[in-house]
Structures are given as C-alpha cells and as structure tokens.
A = this chain, B = another copy of it.
C-alpha cells in the first residue's frame, strides 16, 4: 500500500489533516499494516487535490498553526473503491532479526539474548497497542483484523519464549559461559 492509497482509505471514513493521517499510519488503526512519513503524505495529499479526488478546507487555530482539513469527494470514493477490487500483492516482510538468527554462530551470546528480549518486548508492546485500539473503537471488520493480528503476534511470541534457549545455545561463546542455567531478565513484559 502506498501513501496515496493510505490517504484515500483514511479519508474514506472521515475528514483528516496530513498530520492526523500520518499519526494513524504510525501509531493508530493502520499502524499494523503500513508506516508512512510526512514526506510521502503531504505530497500525496496535494496531488490528490490537484486531481480533484479530495478537497481542502483551511481552519485557523489560535496558538497552533492552521490546519488543512481534507475531505474525499465522490470521484475519490469511486476511485478508491475500484482500486480495492484490483488483485492484491502478497504480504511483504522484512526481518533483520531473521538474518541475525541465521548467523547465530557468529553472534556473541549476550547480544543474542538482548536481540531476542528486544523482539519479545517489541511484540508485547505491539500487542498492548493493538488491544488498546480494539477497546476504543469497534467496527466489526476492525475487530476481526485486530484479533487476527493478535493471534499472529502471540504465536510468534510463544515460539520465541519457548525456543529462545535453543537459539542462544547456537551462539558463539567467546567466554566459557555455556551451560549457565540462570536466565537474565532484560526486558520487562
């Protein structure tokens, strides 16, 4: 999904500013399937306006800078809906963690532990965020998506917790700290 589609999809449901769209994509409802920055959103919005798919209304605020509130029009809705019917690309994943895991034999044990705990912490954090979103607003489709995401993250989390020792066991042990059973507690959960 590109910046253009992101804008259209958020505007489909309600008016928004560029600032708000970015927030949704990075911290809000959309954050589990897209991350887009200002540098992509503002130009996309400007182009959508040029093309006549959305309209703008400027709202002055005292103290804060004035907002440009974008609304989608019928043409915009139609184009967006049409694009929803297009064939979709398979999910894209990019994981630096997997590369580190692949080279476990070359990673110092302590660093491997750190990377795993970081990943566990990230996942836990993500779970919390998503569940919080699920509590606030609840279209049935969003509930479905949230549930789906949670299921996947939980499976990942469970695997990591159950099998982390195996991966740690594959690391380079420069010292002879090898079979120490004590488990360090780096990231709280």
Q: Is the interface of A mostly helix, strand, loop or mixed?
A: helix
A33-B98, A166-B144 as given contacts; A92 in contact with B92, CB under 8 Å = yes
Is residue A182 contacting chain B, with contact meaning CB distance below 8 A? no
Contacts of A97 in B (CB 8 A): 88, 91
Is residue A60 contacting chain B, with contact meaning CB distance below 8 A? no
Could you tell me if B115 and A88 are in contact, using CB atoms closer than 8 angstroms? yes
Question: Per a CB cutoff under 8 Å, which of B90, B103, B107, B145 touches A9?
Answer: B103
Could you tell me if B159 and A152 are in contact, using CB atoms closer than 8 angstroms? yes
**What range describes how many residues of A lie at the interface?**
35 or more
A106-B84, A115-B88, A122-B90 as given contacts; A141 in contact with B101, CB under 8 Å = yes
How far is it, in angstroms, between the C-alpha of A147 and the C-alpha of B166 when the chains are bound? 12
Contacts of A108 in B (CB 8 A): 85
How far is it, in angstroms, between the C-alpha of A9 and the C-alpha of B94 when the chains are bound? 15
Could you tell me if B91 and A94 are in contact, using CB atoms closer than 8 angstroms? yes
